[in-house]
Structure formats: structure tokens, C-alpha cells
Amino acid sequence: MYDVIVVGGRCAGAATALLLARRGHRILLLERARFPSDTLSTLYIHQPGVDRLARWRVLDEVRATGCPPLERISFRAPGLLLTGPAPAWGAATGGLAPRRYALDTILARAAARAGADFRDGCSVTGLLWEGDTVAGVRYTTPGGGTDQARARLVVGADGRNSTVARLVGAPYLRHDGRLTVALYTYWSGLSGDGLGLYSGPGAGAALVPTQDGLTLVNVQLPRDTPVTRGNARHAYLAGALRACPDLAELLAAGRQEERLFRCTDLPNFFRRAYGSGWVLVGDAGHHKDPCGAHGISDALAQAELLAGCLAETVGDPSLREKALRQYAEERDRRWTPPYESNLAYARLSPTENHLEVLRKGETDPLFRSLVFRALAGIPDEDLRSLGRQAEVH
Ligand SMILES: Cc1cc2nc3c(=O)[nH]c(=O)nc-3n(C[C@H](O)[C@H](O)[C@H](O)COP(=O)(O)OP(=O)(O)OC[C@H]3O[C@@H](n4cnc5c(N)ncnc54)[C@H](O)[C@@H]3O)c2cc1C
């Protein structure tokens, strides 16, 4: 009997397991893939996420992968260039972009060191029920067998196509469909300074320096763009050109080092976050288009929120219900406003209002800092006070 079974061992699940295990709970962490394993992602972690990694004492290990600190940001849109230092936040001097096979493995190993029973190669296929309450999971094991385990709480941290969400019938609180498709690959020989963002008519792009001297270049296009295996490379390069001619020139001088990755499954939704004996964290409960690169940072923040709400209540059903309600309400309150902004950004056609804000940031350093802090998802209260200063300025 475990206190908590966490299904899914990447940034949401491994972080949840790590934080709960450090509080002394008995945790089983089940992951379908064999680690280290990669997943579709453009890697960028904003400052609040980097700060969490520092507070959880795993940042040194993440930095040791060789991913450079991304301490400058530049944002290009037709006729404008915003460039400056990435705002510092807590222990973070900028963003970071470790490869996912490295980040997720570091988190899962840290959870295991904290006492969680981490089992990879294990895929959850069913739930155990006591009446209407989830009481455990059934899963397949690496050797081809099946097993089951019981717990007071099952956490679904199993991504946007969550098995746990499907098995408990977690309803969508809202679903805003898909807005973009993403194409990305890794390049060598690109000169770049920090995180580069590009926004052109019907295309967005990001240049993200990562480990081994490589730079990930992501291009996002409207969802109805016909992208097939045959034309993906052409769509990618044409999209880079649309996002910004400078970017297309930069790519022409670089060398593509890996295959082109393509992702069309980018829904925008909130699912109900909890029920009797279960709770969802990370993409399983709330997914958004990756154009704002918030999924990893949000998964880490939600893991911390959930572990904080649960605190010592895991063993007491009535306190647990209250803690889960608090987590769900806070998740929806905190993540709805940035979700709306992200939806607007994912439409890939900046409004005149947006452009005006960006133009102001071109000449006004305080305003620029405000824009960069908003991009990084730096918490609201701090932004509001900076906004007030910017108005006075
Ligand atoms: C193309 C693309 C680009 C992105 N770029 C960025 C970016 O730059 N920055 C950013 O912050 N975010 C980005 N994201 C989003 C980010 O990758 C996700 O938000 C983040 O990975 C969510 O973490 P998670 O742990 O909730 O889910 P996931 O990373 O999806 O992990 C879920 C895990 O659960 C496991 N699992 C699934 N089902 C089962 C089961 N039945 N049993 C056991 N295990 C199971 C899976 O194997 C998987 O390892 C991007 C996403 C995509 C698709």
C-alpha cells in the first residue's frame, strides 16, 4: 500500500513524486518509457521553472548537461526588434533548455533518491476502485507481465492524452481546439545570443540554444497548413522565412543535425483536476499550445502546488478532499489568464494592440522588461507593480 501512485515520470510526475517523497510519503512512480527517453518538446524553461529546479537542488545537475544559460532575449516582428537581458527571477539568471531525455531523467532519479519507488517501462492500463473511489492501478511490467498496486491517491501526470483522465472520465472544463502545428529540428553552426523569438504573418519561430553546441529551431504554422511527411521540410523552411527573413538566412548558414520533428497534436484545454482518489497534474489536466513555451515550467509549478496543498493530508480522506479542491481551484485561478494570452499568441497574427506594446518596449527599457517578464510567466503581483512603475515612467 502506497500513499500516492504517480502515473507518468516526466516533469509533472517526477517533480510531484520528488516533492511528496521528500515530505516522507510512500510513493510509487510509474513511467511507460524506459529512461533516459526523449519526447516531443522544444525544451525552453522560463525563469520561474529554473528557480524551482534550484530550490529543489537539481539545477546544478541540469546545468552540468552543458545547456547554456539563456540570459538574453530578442523578439523580432516585421519592423521591430526588442532585445535585452532576460529578467532574473529568484535563483534564475535566465532561461535554460536542457534536452528532455536529460531533464526528465534527472528529476526521476532525484525522486528515487528521495525514496520514491521509480519503475520505468511500466504502463498503467486500468484502475482499481473501491466503490466510486480510485484505490490503485493495474499496469504492465517490462518483462511483459502485469501487476497492480494500491494507494490512497492516484496522480495522473501522464500527459495530454492521459490514461488516468480517460479511465476516471475527467470532463473537459473547456476545450479550445488546436491552433498550430509545430516543426523543429537541431542545428549546429548558428550564431545566436540567448533565446530568439520571431513573429511574422501566419508563422512564429523560436531559436533555442541547447546542449552540445546545438540550437533547436522551432517553427509554428496555422493548424490548417497541410504538413505531410513529404512536404514537412519545405513547410519548415518556408515557415522560417515567413516568420523572419533573417532566420531563413541564419539557417542557410547552419547545418541540420537531426531529423525534422513534427507535432500536430497540440490541443488547448482544461480538464477537471480531481475526483475521489485521483488528481491530474501537468498536461494531463491542462494543455496549451507550446508557442509560449510554458508547459514544463507550469508542470513544475503545478507539482509544487499539489504537493503543498496535500502536505500532511494524504492519509486523511476528508482533509485530502479539501486539499484537492484547493489545488483545483488554485490551478484554474492561476492558469486561466495566461492561457487566454497564450491562445491569442497561438493565433499567429499579432493584433495592433500587441504590436503597439512591443513597439513601446523597443525604446523603453522598463516597458521591455515588463514584456519579457510577461513572456517568462513571472508571477502576477510582481508584474502589476512593475506595470504601475512603467505607467509612471
Ligand atoms: C512540439 C512541442 C514543443 C514544446 N515546447 C515546449 C517548450 O519549449 N517549453 C515548455 O515549457 N514546454 C514545451 N512543450 C510542452 C511540454 O513538453 C509539456 O507541457 C510537458 O512535457 C508536460 O509534462 P508532463 O509531465 O505533464 O507530461 P509529459 O511530458 O507528456 O509526460 C507524460 C509521461 O507520462 C507517460 N505515460 C503516459 N501514459 C502512461 C501510462 N498509461 N502509464 C505510465 N506512463 C504513462 C509518458 O510516457 C510520458 O513520459 C512542448 C510540447 C510540444 C508537443
Calculate the dihedral angle through the C-alpha atoms of 102, 74, 181, 39, rounding to the nearest 10 degrees.
Answer: 0
**pLDDT the model gives residue 351:** 83
Mean pLDDT of 137-141: 98
pLDDT tens, residue by residue, 274-324:
999 999 999 999 999 999 999 999 999 999 999 999 988 888 888 999 999
Residue nearest to atom 4 of ligand 1 (CA): 41
Q: Note whether residue 387 is domain-resident.
A: yes
pLDDT tens, residue by residue, 39-79:
999 999 999 999 999 999 999 999 999 999 999 999 999 89
Say what the pTM is.
Answer: 0.96
Least confident interval from 114-118, 142-146, 247-251, 354-358: 354-358
Residues 207 and 142 in one domain: no
Identify which has the larger pLDDT, 167 or 226: 167
- pLDDT of residue 194 exceeding 90: yes
| Torsional sign, CA 108, 109, 110, 116 | positive
Q: Note whether residue 124 is domain-resident.
A: yes
Residues 356 and 379 in one domain: yes
Residues 6+ away with beta carbon under 8 Å from 90? 47, 48, 51, 54, 55
CATH assignment of the domain containing 244: 3.30.9.100
- pLDDT of residue 175 exceeding 70: yes
Q: Note whether residue 91 is domain-resident.
A: no
Residues 245 and 383 in one domain: no
Distance 41 CA to ligand 1 centre (A): 8
Residues 291 and 338 in one domain: yes
Alpha-helical (H) ranges within 94-152 are: 100-113
Q: How many domains does the chain have?
A: 3
Residues 247 and 273 in one domain: no
Least confident interval from 168-172, 226-230, 236-240, 303-307: 226-230
Q: Note whether residue 335 is domain-resident.
A: yes
- Picking from 330, 346, 362, the residue at the C-terminal end of a domain is 346
Which structural domain, as residue segments, surrounds residue 291? 2-43+99-176+266-346
Mean pLDDT of 157-165: 98
Identify which has the larger pLDDT, 226 or 103: 103
Whether residue 31 has its Cβ less than 6 Å from ligand 1:
yes
Residues 6+ away with beta carbon under 8 Å from 250? 190, 191, 192, 207
Question: Is 365 in contact with 83 (CB distance < 8 Å)?
Answer: no
Determine the residue of 7, 42, 168 to mutate for testing ligand 1's pocket, defined as the one with the most ligand atoms within 8 A of the Cβ atom.
Answer: 42
**pLDDT the model gives residue 393:** 43
Residue nearest to atom 52 of ligand 1 (CA): 41
Q: What's the pLDDT band for 191 if we cut at 50, 70, 90? A: confident
By percentage, how much of the chain surpasses pLDDT 90? 89
Cell of 13: 510526475
Distance (Å, whole) CA 173 – CA 54: 33
Residues 258 and 275 in one domain: no
Q: What's the pLDDT band for 355 if we cut at 50, 70, 90? A: confident
Counting atoms of ligand 1 from 1, which one is nearest the CA of 14? 25
Residues 259 and 310 in one domain: no
Distance 283 CA to ligand 1 centre (A): 7
Distance (Å, whole) CA 55 – CA 213: 27
Q: Note whether residue 68 is domain-resident.
A: no
- pLDDT of residue 389 exceeding 60: no
- Residue 350, preceding peptide bond in cis (omega within 30° of 0): no
Residues 6+ away with beta carbon under 8 Å from 309? 323, 324, 326, 327, 330
Distance 2 CA to ligand 1 centre (A): 25
Residues 172 and 185 in one domain: no
Strand, helix or coil for residue 117: strand
Q: What's the pLDDT band for 105 if we cut at 50, 70, 90? A: very high
**pLDDT the model gives residue 293:** 98
Residues 234 and 375 in one domain: no
Identify which has the larger pLDDT, 390 or 226: 226
Q: Note whether residue 13 is domain-resident.
A: yes
